[in-house]
A and B are shown apart, each in its own frame.
Chain A
Amino acid sequence: MAHYLDFEKPLAEIEGKAEELRAMARGNEDMDIEDEAEALDRKAKDLLKDLYGKLTPWRKCLVARHPDRPHCQEYIDALFTEFTPLAGDRNFADDHAVVGGLARFNDQPVMVIGQEKGNDTKSRIKHNFGMARPEGYRKAVRLMEMAGRFGLPVVTLVDTPGAYPGLGAEERGQSEAIARSTEKCLEIGVPLVCVVIGEGGSGGAVAFAAGNRVAMLEHSVYSVITPEGCASILWKDAEKMRDAAEALRLTANDLYQLGVADRVIPEPLGGAHRDRAAAIKAVGSAIAGMLGELKGQSSEELIAARRKKFLEIGSRGLAA
């Protein structure tokens, strides 16, 4: 059963009707409904084009959070071989919100690290809905450090509502852990390429995304605060999230214009969840492209270029 977002209701009706027609016809050989069903399919496709052609920033947030959207582990399984997960921060625990380990990308050994949200109630709880605790960031630091030492490029997949706001997380130094992870991103002498595949939630995302190259899927978002949070602070009304999403400029295209994202990866019509294989393939070729751009650069060049990139961010605003 497909999961429809609120603004997709009209689409759900049309697709539901087509589905019903076909189900009826399966029980009755004489019925010829295919023409009618195909007409409905065309109508659905047109509507989909229409809806996704002009997604508002708030709707992009909803698509980025879509429960059926492919998540980190699915990308790893499809795009990497010999994935060997490595666990733990050697200090306190293993944080399942962060998945990472050695793997091969197009036969080249790399370190892949990402935030995993989970796909059903059980796995969502296991992965804490993609909200990492300090141990998750410290695991990432450990893996990046190791990759740096062995000269392996690092690929990160960013998809988190934000760092976990919890009692223990604060006690064990959530802020310090995030700061160290960002610091490590900027320190390693190997290529670091990052893809925002869903939600880039504030500091929790930055800690994984201070790389040489940052790509964003077309309908992913990356923001200083959730639109709901921003609305409740600045508008004093969490229901103003649509206005906040608009004002925050959190879409992939905005970030590309601002020089924060280096490339925008187009998504299949109707979002990554409607054609997972195509979305995953597009992310794969973006990773290959970005790693290719960085090939042959020395450690010093990679570090210097990464620093320059972040120091220069903000030197251009959005075109009015």
Chain B
Amino acid sequence: MDEVEEVKKKPSYMSEHKFLLLIAYSIIVSLILVGISLEIYNESGAAQLDLSRPGYRSVQSKAITNDNELQTYPSTGTVTLSTVQQFEAIYNKESQQVTNIDAYGGDPLNPDALEISTPTTDQ
């Protein structure tokens, strides 16, 4: 009878290593969550806008951080010829800032530009 009670009281593996298992599970879960977070960071496009990444430090200081110069145009109010002309002046000034730049133009990845010659392609 005493023997039976002794067997019953013997702690299980789980209860014996409860704390270690808790730490192990916590580490595994946190690694998975970090992986998922990194995936979201990469796939959401946030990584492409993050100039604090190591490779981007040389240009970080050149980023426009003050975007408050351009005020949001009021979406309510009368529409007179004068307001249209005023808006047009603001719009033309702002749009010229982007249309004057041929962003991503040129062909810097051309093999000739990179001094790696053109291959014969197997298709």
On whether the two chains bind one another, the answer is no
Give the interface of A toward B (CB within 8 A).
none
Q: Which residues of B contact A (CB under 8 A)?
A: none
